[in-house]
Amino acid sequence: MNKAMNVVEFYGFIEGELQGISSRKGLRLTVYERIQGRSINCYIRQDRAELFDKAMKLFNTRIQAYGMVRCKDDGTPLSIDLENIQPLPTDNQING
pLDDT digits (tens, 9 = 90+) for 27-42: 999 999 988 889 999 9
Q: Which fold has domain 7-72+79-95?
A: OB fold (Dihydrolipoamide Acetyltransferase, E2P) (2.40.50)
Domain locations along the chain: 7-72+79-95
pLDDT exceeds cutoff 80 at 94 = no
pTM: 0.84
A 10 A CB-CB count for 56 gives 11
Task: Give the DSSP H/E element, type plus range, for residue 7.
Answer: strand 7-22
DSSP for residue 75:
S
Task: Give the DSSP H/E element, type plus range, for residue 45.
Answer: none
Cβ burial, residue 78 (10 Å; 0-12/13-18/19+)? middle
Helix or strand or coil: residue 96? coil
